[in-house]
Structure 1
Amino acid sequence: MKLTILGGGGFRVPLVYGALLTDRGEGRVTDVVLHDLDAGRLQAVARVLAEQAAGVPDAPAVTATTDLDDALRGADFVFSAIRVGGLEGRADDERVALAEGVLGQETVGAGGIAYGLRTVPVAVDIARRVARLAPDAWLINFTNPAGLVTEAMSRHLGDRVIGICDSPVGLGRRIARVLGADPNEAWIDYVGLNHLGWVRGLRVAGRDELPRLLADPGLLGSFEEGKLFGVDWLRSLGAIPNEYLHYYYFNRETVRAYQQAEKTRGAFLAGQQARFYEEMRDPDAAALAAWDRTRAEREATYMAENRETAGAGDRDADDLSGGYEKVALALMRAIARDERATLILNVRNGSTLGALDADAVIEVPCLVDANGAHPMSAAPLPGHAAGLVTAVKAVEREVLAAAESGSRATAVKAFALHPLVDSVNVARRLVEGYREVHPGLAYLR
């Protein structure tokens, strides 16, 4: 099978290739095509992959190209992992928002809207090209904001685009581990949107073990989300939120911490990865070792401001291993080999959540087979969660409308309606601020 990775010069591509190297089954990926606009980054990542493949028999062949159409032709699977505007754009998203006293995170709040506004037009163009050049391919979307971008692409690819994220997987794994259960044997009742979901139950052998966790303050406070949100708040919710809900539940404290930080997350990553790619200019540099070292630092500092605000301390070693590449491999296996699997994915709602329409992309457990991902039935969300989900989905729809129409007024509406933007005047200034720093938003008129 041929796998095309868009954003193939991206830093996390070796995680995907490393997962492919472990697959020895029939129908596995034999050819990987890396596509990126930056030939230098492509060359750097290709070097890392070559070192990963050393000594591995029948490792998938790797080619690289800056021609998008050539990359797509004949693909069985397409991974979209693009970053429109690069990490410098992410840093600008953060800076403009924080100057207005609101959150600039890349998927949540003002920063997520800005990122979506410049990413959706590019993602839609990709979806149209896939439909024309590789109509039988499955597109797996990693590109953030993952739910929003997946929904934009689904308007052109239908159910053949599936969004993935490692946050629900990591959350379920941590809960199962603290309860002494095998994560592979646990059923995780997780419902919401991307970066806006809750674990409401964890069943092992038919028994829901989440009440036992919520009743034990020691267990509940022993893992990442317990430290982030606090035992009392989790018990009040009666559920375990995705870590990104910390931006909503503790917004004021988080914004203050980001404003006081020496560097924003985007600026930190931009500098860190620039050093890695610069190091790769040396033909004698050990590519895989440099990548491993950089990745370890990246993972260890993930959501550092949130953990500092909550007094959560450093991340546990078990949480530094990523995970989205494992979800991607499991998804491809299930589709290509018709091996049924249950995975938490971003797919069109259908009738799963009554509060949303059928085309709304949600994040829920899905049964995956050769025909794709099928969302499984879910109990209704409690009022507080349903209100937040419908509010944020309404914002996403305004982002999609603004990207399609080019309407500046609609973009202002998207910002102003977000729960983490507290003034229409702030929304107006955000649109102007982002148009000044992002040439890709010149279409908003």
Structure 2
Amino acid sequence: MRLVIVGGGGFRVPLVYRALSTGRYAGLIDSVVLHDIDLPRLRAIEAVLAAMPLEGPPLTLSTELKDALPGADVVFAATRVGGTAGRVIDERIALDLGLLGQETTGAGGLSYALRSIPYMLELAAMMQKHCPDAWLINFTNPAGMVTQALQSVLGRKVIGICDSPIGLVRRAAQAAGAPLSSGSLRGVDYLGLNHLGWLRGLEYDGVDRLPGLLASPERLAGFEEGRLFGPDFLRTLGAVPNEYLFYYYRRAEAIDSIRAAEQTRGESIAEAQGRSYPELQGPEAFQRWEAARLEREEGYLAEARSAPDGNQEDRDEADLAGGGYEEVALAAMTALLTGERTELILNVPNGGSIAALPHDAVIEVPSSVDASGAQPLPVQSPPTLHQLGLMAQLKAVETAVVRAVLEGDRDQALLAFALHPLVADEQLARQLLKGYEAAFPALSTLWR
């Protein structure tokens, strides 16, 4: 079996390769191909993998998709069109207009999608030509929008991955005393879109343990999302939101925190990568990568963990635990290749699971995966009016973005910015789109 990783010079690639080198995934893959257009980054990651204490599958590097894809059984795609410099622009243009400046949420996420989707459609077309039977497991953000667009080419052969929901579920389950069974999400009531979801139930031994968790400030204080939103709000909400909902429920606080920081998250990562990648060489490459990775994880969603006095709450081991994106991706890949059924929270077509949303709308819910693909599990209860309203509003935005790219329709792109609840202003939408078009000239070439 051959795995091709598109975006193979990415910083988290060693997590996948390490998981393929030991434990339950060892021996599943016969060869790994790393593809990236940035050869120095590819060489740096190659040095990290060579310095690992474990021996993994044979490795090939490629800077050309036409050379990387033939023979692939599974393709992982984790690309960043425009690089970290593009991320900084996404953040800053929104911030300069007084809006949230964030990678995947709000205006910056829409700009990112308008760059990501065209490239990913090209990748999908190349897969149809060079490896038509391969599965695409998509990490490229914004994962929900990208996965939705890719259905137009790959149909059910594409699955979207995000590690945020399962991380939340595992942390909350531990705090609630409701341990999860391996490969099963029985009793887990989670529902939403990518970076917009809620944990609404945790049944264990026939009893929903979530109400007890929500009633206990002490137990809520034991995991990140519990501290992030606070016991009073969570008790009133009756659910534990995905961490990205911080940007909706505490928008002003998030914007103030980002503005008060010396750097945006994108600027911080760009600086860290500028230091770390040149150091990833020789026998110490793996140790240097590991140290840089831990530093990077510590800064994740830092604006949500900044106190009013400017101090930042540290993330403990429980916060950093939860499986990681490589665990979710490899579990999905194993089920697809071997037929061994498993249950994961994935980005998949709705298919009627949420009656009020279109059948082809990509949602993020517990799903069953086997050799035939991924199917959403039955939703345990309908969404509340609040949940449905926010999902419908965001799905309208996502649909407009996908239409903008597929149809070359600038008006749909403008509509997406205007309808997004973190923009919600037609004049601001016009300024945003003009700003992003000026910063990324390739955007204007999309429009017919």
1:177-215 CA distance string (max 9 Å, x none) = 112332336632111000000001012233211111112
Tell me the distance in 1 between the aligned counterparts of 2:355 and 2:191.
Answer: 12
Change (3 A) 1:55 1:361: closer
1:115 is matched with which residue?
Answer: 112
Deviation at 1:79, TM superposition (A): 0.2
- Is this contact kept in 1: 2:25–2:330, CA < 8 A? no
2:369 is matched with which residue?
Answer: 368
- Is this contact kept in 1: 2:302–2:312, CA < 8 A? no
SS of residue in 1 equivalent to 2:445: coil
- Is this contact kept in 1: 2:190–2:199, CA < 8 A? yes
Q: State the TM-score, normalized to the length of structure 2.
A: 0.95
Root mean square deviation of aligned Cα: 1.6
Tell me the distance in 2 between the aligned counterparts of 1:232 and 1:12.
Answer: 36
SS of residue in 2 equivalent to 1:336: helix
Change (3 A) 1:356 1:292: same
Which amino acid in structure 2 is aligned with residue 301 of structure 1?
G
Runs of at least 5 residues in structure 1 that lack an aligned partner in the other structure: none
Identity value in percent: 53
1:308 is matched with which residue?
Answer: 306
Tell me the distance in 2 between the aligned counterparts of 1:273 and 1:225.
Answer: 28
Which amino acid in structure 2 is aligned with residue 388 of structure 1?
L
Tell me the distance in 2 between the aligned counterparts of 1:428 and 1:224.
Answer: 36
Which amino acid in structure 1 is aligned with residue 91 of structure 2?
E
1:20-78 CA distance string (max 9 Å, x none) = 112466971110000000011111101111122x453xx20111000101111110000
Tell me the distance in 2 between the aligned counterparts of 1:320 and 1:171.
Answer: 10
Deviation at 1:287, TM superposition (A): 0.8
SS of residue in 2 equivalent to 1:183: coil
Match status 1:327 vs 2:324: no
2:395 is matched with which residue?
Answer: 393
Change (3 A) 1:180 1:24: closer
Match status 1:206 vs 2:209: no
Deviation at 1:334, TM superposition (A): 1.2
1:276 is matched with which residue?
Answer: 276
Match status 1:266 vs 2:266: yes
2:421 is matched with which residue?
Answer: 419
SS of residue in 1 equivalent to 2:33: strand
Q: Which segment is superposed worse, 310-319 or 368-377?
A: 310-319
- Is this contact kept in 2: 1:296–1:320, CA < 8 A? no
- Is this contact kept in 1: 2:417–2:424, CA < 8 A? no
Q: How does 1:64-103 map to 2 (within 5 A)?
A: 64-103=61-100
Deviation at 1:135, TM superposition (A): 1.1
Deviation at 1:143, TM superposition (A): 0.4
Change (3 A) 1:23 1:413: same
- Is this contact kept in 2: 1:151–1:361, CA < 8 A? yes
- Is this contact kept in 2: 1:224–1:312, CA < 8 A? no
Tell me the distance in 2 between the aligned counterparts of 1:197 and 1:284.
Answer: 42
Q: How does 1:38-437 map to 2 (within 5 A)?
A: 38-52=38-52, 54-56=53-55, 59-184=56-181, 187=186, 188-280=188-280, 283-284=281-282, 286-309=284-307, 313-321=313-321, 323-378=324-379, 379-437=381-439
Deviation at 1:324, TM superposition (A): 0.6
- Is this contact kept in 2: 1:227–1:312, CA < 8 A? no
Deviation at 1:315, TM superposition (A): 1.4
Tell me the distance in 1 between the aligned counterparts of 2:247 and 2:137.
Answer: 27
Tell me the distance in 1 between the aligned counterparts of 2:234 and 2:199.
Answer: 11
Change (3 A) 1:213 1:312: farther
- Is this contact kept in 2: 1:279–1:285, CA < 8 A? no
Tell me the distance in 2 between the aligned counterparts of 1:85 and 1:376.
Answer: 36
SS of residue in 1 equivalent to 2:51: helix
SS of residue in 2 equivalent to 1:162: strand
Deviation at 1:319, TM superposition (A): 2.4
